[in-house]
Amino acid sequence: MGFSDSKEAFMSVPVTLTELWIYPIKSFPGLSVDRLTFDAAGPVDDRRWMLVDEKGKFVSQRGLPKLASFGMARLDAGYTVTAPDGDSAVLPEPGQAGESFAVTVWKDELQAHEVSPELSQWFSAKLGKRVHLVHTGPASERRIPDPGTYDHERVGFADGYPLLICNEASLDGLNEASGLTLDMRRFRPNVVVRGAEDRSELMLGRLNLPEGHIDLLKTCVRCNIPAIDPDTATYQKDVAAQLKTHCEWDGSTIFGVNGVARGVTGLTVGDTALYSAQA
Tens of pLDDT, residue by residue over 2-40, are: 434 444 557 899 999 999 999 999 999 999 999 999 998
Tell me, yes or no, whether 3 lies in a domain: no
**How much is the pTM?**
0.94
**Separation CA 118–CA 90 (nearest Å):** 11
Q: What is the pLDDT of residue 6?
A: 44
How far is residue 200's CA from residue 215's CA, in Å, rounded to a whole number?
Answer: 14
What residues have CB less than 8 Å from 203, skipping those under 6 apart? Answer: 8, 11, 277, 278, 279
Total of domains in the chain:
1
Residue 266 pLDDT > 70? yes
pLDDT given at position 8: 52
Average pLDDT over residues 113-128: 96
Asked if the structure places residue 70 within a domain, the reply is yes
Give the containing element (helix H, strand E) for 242: helix 237-246
Asked whether residue 42 is assigned to any structural domain, the reply reads yes
pLDDT average, residue stretch 189-193 = 98
Residue 222 clears pLDDT 60, i.e. is over it: yes
Mean pLDDT score, 159-179: 97
Q: State the CB neighbour count (10 A cutoff) for residue 151.
A: 6
Q: Is residue 252 part of a domain?
A: yes
Average pLDDT for residues 67-82, to the nearest whole number? 94
Q: Is residue 4 part of a domain?
A: no
- Write the CATH number for 172: 2.40.33.20
For residue 65, the tally of other CB atoms under 10 A from its CB is 19
Q: Give mean pLDDT, residues 116-140.
A: 92
The verdict on residue 2 lying in a domain is no
